[in-house]
Structure 1
Amino acid sequence: MAKFVLLDARLFAPGADLSGASSKIELSSEIEDKETTNYLSAGWKEVIGGLGSAEISAEGQWEAGDPSKVDDASWSALGGIGPYTVCPTGSTVGALAYITSGMRADYNVGDAVGEVAPWTGTVKSSWPLVRGQIAHPPGLARTVTGTGTPVQLGVIPAGKRLYAALHVLSVAGTTPSITARIESGDATISTPTTRATFSAATAPGGQILRGDGTAVADTYYRVAWTITGTTPSFMFAVSLGIR
């Protein structure tokens, strides 16, 4: 990817797309260094990696009055743990995405008179920060059972895991329900194998799943979904990654 100017970054909280209310999004990830210097370290400090951590910080323009707005979404998530997906260049299928499960640690609002009402907030990780891809874009309504476009993630070595985040952003219809799952296979996924299944969702919200560390030789993955209800309609985003 060539150098670029941040113009279309996306931020998905558990069940809300906060991109339109965000003007700054920052990701950080670090591994704690633990000193192991000894008499055979040849006079140099020696360290090994300890605990890892990641953080998402964001800020933007305050809005309220609907579950999709930043104030409503932030208050409902404060102190809770859920999935977060950040995309630095957009959210089309195959776009770069960073994924984690984190706790909404703080939320701040307000400024001086005459200023555009701002907000700031921080998410602190409970799972690793995973570099992956978007498997389903947020702006495409789904009304019937179907499958998404395969994305090439690569094989999952033993000890690594598949991570998948589902953000259900809007729901319409009578008794609507969607059950999403992650499938893998060849480039066309002609004979799919189900790798993870989310719980049925009937309202906006988020879920995140990860594999058990078993090696997987398949290199392509997609999201598939089963929709039921009367005139149902769902807007959702899905991100996938391996770590």
Structure 2
Amino acid sequence: MSHFVLLNCRLFTGGADLTGSSNKLELSAEVGDEERTNFASGGWKEVLGGLRETELSGGGQWEAGDPGRVDDARWSELGGLGPWTACPDRADLGALAWFTSAMSGGYKLGDQVGAVAPWEGQAKGSWPLVRGQIAHPPGTARTATGTGSGIQLGAVPAGKHLYAAAHVLSIAGTGSPSITLGIESDVDNTFASPTDVVTFGAAGVLSGQIARAPGPVTDTWFRPKWTITGTGPSFLFVVALGIA
């Protein structure tokens, strides 16, 4: 990815796609510097990397009246932990995605008379910040049990984890439609002998989940799968995968 102008950022929190009500997205990562200077340091200050910290923030135009809109989503998630997924440029299959489990610690709305009603929100990471890929795009509706396309992430070494974030953004149908998402792996893109790596809980409402599976995992290809129940069901969801 070369230089580009921020025009197509995507932001997902919990079960909400905040892209259409956002015009600002910031993500920061910081490593604390812990001093270890001593008399053998030759007169130079020495530091070691300490605790790591992640913060996400967004803002835009305020909307309310639906669980997928910013006011409903940010208020219900305030003070709680949940997945945040940010894409600097689009959310197509294989697109770059940054995600983590974060505590929603701030929400602000309102401004001066005559202005388009704004919102601002912040969250602080409670898990590692993961640099990964979109494994299922948000605009592809699924109406029956199936699997998605595979992406090649590489093997998961010992001491690291496969991370997966899922956001269920839209649900239609009758008979209490439900979707259970999971992640499976295999040695190549044929997925001739897939292995279950991550299984999320069943979702019957707009919601988000994040999970991780420890390495080592020698398989290098991963894909989402889903089990759908209900009458005339249809789901929109986004899945992001990465190794950290």
Is this a same-fold pair by TM over 0.5?
yes
The whole-number CA distance in structure 1 between the counterparts of 2:43 and 2:152 is: 46
The whole-number CA distance in structure 2 between the counterparts of 1:126 and 1:148 is: 28
Q: Quote how far apart the aligned CAs of 1:233 are.
A: 1.0
- Structure 1 runs of 4+ with >4 Å offset: none
Q: Secondary structure at the match of 1:211?
A: strand
5 Å-filtered alignment, 1:177-196, equals 177-185=178-186, 186-196=188-198
Which segment drifts farther, 12-21 or 215-224?
215-224
User: Amino acid of the residue matched to residue 113 of structure 1?
Assistant: V
User: Amino acid of the residue matched to residue 224 of structure 1?
Assistant: K
Q: Quote how far apart the aligned CAs of 1:149 are.
A: 0.6
User: Amino acid of the residue matched to residue 38 of structure 2?
Assistant: N
The whole-number CA distance in structure 2 between the counterparts of 1:54 and 1:189 is: 35
The whole-number CA distance in structure 2 between the counterparts of 1:67 and 1:202 is: 13
User: Amino acid of the residue matched to residue 240 of structure 2?
Assistant: S
1:57 is matched with which residue?
Answer: 57
Q: Deviations over 1:74-115 (max 9, x none)?
A: 101101100010000000110000010001111001111111
User: Amino acid of the residue matched to residue 176 of structure 1?
Assistant: P
1:208 is matched with which residue?
Answer: 210
Q: Secondary structure at the match of 1:133?
A: strand
Q: Percent identity?
A: 62
User: Amino acid of the residue matched to residue 2 of structure 2?
Assistant: A
Question: Do structure 1's residue 81 and structure 2's residue 81 form an aligned pair?
Answer: yes
Q: Quote how far apart the aligned CAs of 1:155 are.
A: 1.2
Q: Quote how far apart the aligned CAs of 1:187 are.
A: 2.0
Structure 2 gap ranges (5+): none
5 Å-filtered alignment, 1:92-241, equals 92-174=92-174, 175-185=176-186, 186-212=188-214, 214-241=215-242
Q: Quote how far apart the aligned CAs of 1:70 are.
A: 0.5
Q: Quote how far apart the aligned CAs of 1:188 are.
A: 2.2
Q: Secondary structure at the match of 1:191?
A: coil
5 Å-filtered alignment, 1:21-40, equals 21-40=21-40
Q: CA RMSD in A?
A: 0.8
User: Amino acid of the residue matched to residue 237 of structure 2?
Assistant: F
The whole-number CA distance in structure 1 between the counterparts of 2:72 and 2:42 is: 57
Q: Quote how far apart the aligned CAs of 1:41 are.
A: 1.4
The whole-number CA distance in structure 1 between the counterparts of 2:64 and 2:205 is: 19
The whole-number CA distance in structure 2 between the counterparts of 1:46 and 1:193 is: 46
User: Amino acid of the residue matched to residue 140 of structure 1?
Assistant: T
1:13 is matched with which residue?
Answer: 13
Structure 1 gap ranges (5+): none
The whole-number CA distance in structure 1 between the counterparts of 2:119 and 2:229 is: 37
